[in-house]
Structures are given as structure tokens and as C-alpha cells.
Chains A and B, each alone.
Chain A
Amino acid sequence: MDIFLSAIFAGTSRGAIYALAALGLVLVWRGAGVVNFAQMGQAMFSTYIASTLIAQNYSYWIAFVVALISGGLLGALVDLLVMRPLNRKKSSSALDSPAMRSTIPVIASLGILGVLQAAAGMIWAAEERGFPTPVNSLGLVINGKIMPFTAFDLFVIGIVFVTLVATTYFFKGTGMGLAMRASALNPEVARLSGIRIGLVRTLSWVISGVASSLAGLLVTPSANLSPYTLDLILIIGFTAAVVGGLDSLLGSVIGGFALGLLVSFVNVYDAPEDIFLAILIVLITVLIIRPQGILGSKEVRRV
């Protein structure tokens, strides 16, 4: 029973981080229509920046804020330096088919991931380093008993819910959120409505960059920081987003928690080596049985 409970708790706090990673993916999908595989590379980069600041004796929170800002800036740079120039190249007939137009940014994002990992390796010598947590990461003690979850776990779960509520409100309740959805769904009609889609897209890259940096900062305490540590989070986060429906913020969070529990149970009752296999099985099963995901809309998946 104790093992079961601790698997649940461990799964929930892992799930919160996968949910954040999935949220970041969904944000850029809904705002710019791109599946961004460079996302966790951006997160890794800004986590390194935070870690460098902390090593120079700045407080955790200053490093935290600087990392979020640099995550946002990095998102803007990806859009301005890579995605926009690619979008402008539609005069070439090879790039003009709808299938190519949605595939090319994805391939470009994989390239950006490689560049970021190589750059981080060059700057920070690819050494593994630890990363602190902002709140206590020892098991909470209730009634003299050590619980299988920590104050840090609660902190992470809290941040996920705040992010979910804030982004959901942003999309459904603000004009900029509507502009963002419109630009991703139908750029032509959005432009004819007077929406500056270039600006809107850059903004969605910024927001997604901040959300993924948040995921990077929060996941690193349980792993060591290296240019490649966050790859696993990207794969699980992507699966969570697909399970949730890729265009649904709530769906991606549900998917994140579900995968967190799955990973944790495989870890406890089976063996850590099978985690990848389990994730692949979930991904393929969802794609076969319910390709639009738990909460996704059918039409979006046509893209």
C-alpha cells in the first residue's frame, strides 16, 4: 500500500512537470501552428543561465526570473530568425504545398534543438551540474510520519494550475487570445480581419518559451542539468500533448498527469528501462483509437 501511495505521489509531481512541457507545446501550436521540438532545448538553455547566476551567488528567485525572461526572448528569437524567414519563402513551389508548409517548421525546430544543445555544450562544457529547489525538497512530515511527497512537489503542482488557469483565461477571455487562435486556425481570414499575425505569432513563441523554461527550472532539481537532460521531458511532454488533443490546454494538463502516473507505476512495479516502451505504446494506441486526443477538436488534427 505504501509503495502504491508513493507511486501515486511521485507520479503526480512528475505529471505536473510533463503537463507544463505539454502546455508549452500546445501554446505554440495554437498560436503559431507549429509543433516545436526545440522547446526543451530553449528550456535547457535558460536553465543553464539560471544555474550560472546561482553559481555566482545570485538568489534563486533572481535567477528564476532571469531564466523566464531569457526563455521568452529565446522564443522570440526562434520566431524572428528562423520561422518568419521560412514563412516568407512560399514563392518556391517545393515549399508551397500545405503538407510541406506544416512540416518544414517542425524540421527547422529539430535543427534549432541541435544548435542549442551544441551551443550549451560549448559554453558550459557539457558538464553535468545540480540545480537547487526554491522550497524544501525533503518529505513533508505530518503527524510525525514522513509523507511520500515534498513541499517542492506541492509548489510544482500549484504552478501548473496557475499556468493552466492563466493561459486558459488568456485564450478564451482576452482579445489577444482570440487573435492568437484566429491566426493559427486561419491566417488569411485573420489578416483580412486586421489582426497583425506576425506580431501575434511572435507573442505566442514568447509565452510558450516562458512556460517551457518554467518546466525546465522545475524538472532539473530531480535530474542533473546537462544539454540533453530535458530530451526525455520533451518526448513525454509531446506524448502528453497528443494524448490531450494538441489544441486543448486542459487536455494537455490531463495528459501530463496521466503520463506522470504511468511513468511512475512502470518505474515502481516494472523497471525504469520500460518507460520508453510504455510511452510509445500509449502514443500509438491514442493515435489509432482517438487521433484527436481526449479533448482535441477533430478539425484541427486534419492539419
Chain B
Amino acid sequence: MLEIKDLVTEYGSVKALNGISLVAHEGKITTVIGANGAGKSTLLRTISALEHPRSGSITWKNKSIVGLSPEKIVRLGIAHVPEGHAVISQLSVEENIEMGALFRMRSNKTDVLLAIQEIYQLFPRLEERKKQLAGSLSGGERQMLAISRALVSRPSLLLLDEPSLGLAPLVVEQIIQTVNDLCRNTGLTVLLVEQNANTALGVADHGILLSLGTVAADLPAAQMKADVALRAAYLGY
């Protein structure tokens, strides 16, 4: 279980997160929705230590992870797929995936090879293109690759930042469905940040609505999806 209490993160004098508290339960999909600038990405970046919080606590499996480095946090089973289909376009598809497992290549090579096989079963298109440069992939394939890079570390918590950004609705559907299957079949915990609230709430167990760095609503996903007044006030539809 990931538990966040009163988290404050600042960029200069701007409070991007202004006292956020939330819980992501094991084996569930928790989605964080909200408008641009609500602090969604900052929340994920603070969890994975790319940003340092000003105050507040982040506990993972009952241990505080504040102050650790991003390299260390991956080793604790938290994998972050940042915004914008983050792959390294000058490396091949294969190398991008392998990169995510380098840190445990020596200690557990057989499992790494197995994990790579599983990824190719999940996304056969990546196997067909494994020798190509990641820069030559389509947007959807890049997002699959970015997720694969995270999955190959065998995380127990996956932080996904706007996987739907810039993708066609059909591709979004496929990617969200894959994440959903992973969660249901392997017990992966997912913290999914999305602007596409409808799609995200459709698969999530729980919804957190952020507004200007604070939690505006914290409800079961189905209930949040049905709340017309909430949607009108914060998401504008």
C-alpha cells in the first residue's frame, strides 16, 4: 500500500502540491484526474523522487521513501512511466526494454529474460520491431515501449503519467485495457494519472480529483464518474 500524507512540493515559490493525502491500495487501480496544472504529474514525480517534497510523508509497504534517490526507489518495486511516451529514441526497442532491467541483470538474469519474453507476449508488435530505433515507432508503440521499460523491473507499483496523451482513441483503449488486465491478473498496484477522466474512471477502482494542488474529491471510481455536478465544476463537461 502506498500512503501519502499532507504532501507539499514547490517549484520556487509556487506550491504545485499543497497538502495532498491519498492511498493507493494493493492490486487496485487508483486514478488521479484533474485539469492541467492541478499537480498530477508533480505528484508522481515526487513519489519517484524526481522532485523533493517540502513537507509531508510518503510511505510504501509501511516504510518512508522520502529522501531516497530515484535509482533506489525503482529497486523497491516502484516504476514510473513519465509523461510523453518517455523512451530513448536513439536506442533500439530491445535496448530500451533491457535498460529497465539492467539493475537486476546480474542478480537475476533468468528472471529478466523471462520478463522480457512476457513483455513480447503482451506487445507482439514490440518483438517484431525489436531491432528498430525507438524513434521510428508510432506514438502508441512508444507508449507500449515506455510501459514495457517499467514492467521489466517487475514492479509492484506502477506510476503511469497520462498514457493517453496524443494517442488515437482506439490505441488508448488498448493500452488502458492492457494495464487493467495486468492489475487484475498479477496483482499490480497502479496509480494512473489522466486528463481523459472518462476512460480512466472506467477502469479504476478509486478516483482522486486534484484541483490546484489539493484533493477536491476522493471517491470510488464509479461514484465519481456518476457525479455530474463534480464533473461540471472541475472537469468542465
Chain A residues with a Cβ under 8 A of chain B: 175, 178-179, 181-182, 185-186, 188-197, 297, 299-300
Contacts and interface: CB of A to CB of B under 8 A. Distances in A.
Interface in B83-134: 86-91, 95, 98-100, 102-106
B102 A194 contact: yes
Nearest 5 interchain pairs by C-beta: A194-B103, A194-B74, A191-B70, A193-B100, A186-B88
Given A178-B98, A188-B82, A189-B82, A195 B87 contact: no
A89 B150 CA distance: 29
Interface string B131-165: 00001000000000000011001000000000000
A71 to B, nearest CB: 27
Contact of B95 (A178, A195, A196, A297): A178
Given A181-B91, A185-B91, A188-B50, A193 B86 contact: no
A299 B90 contact: yes
A189 B150 CA distance: 10
Contacts of B70: 191-192
B48 A192 contact: yes
Interface of B: 48, 50, 69-71, 74-75, 79-80, 82, 86-91, 95, 98-100, 102-106, 135, 149-150, 153
A185 B87 CA distance: 10
B151 to A, nearest CB: 12
Contacts of B74: 192-194
Given A179-B102, A299-B135, A191 B71 contact: yes
A292 to B, nearest CB: 12
A284 B71 CA distance: 41
Contacts of A192: 48, 50, 70, 74, 79-80, 82, 86, 150
Contacts of A300: 90
Interface centre among A175, A189, A197 (most CB of B within 10 A): A189
The residue in B69, B98, B99, B100 that gathers the most chain A C-beta atoms within 10 A of its C-beta is B99
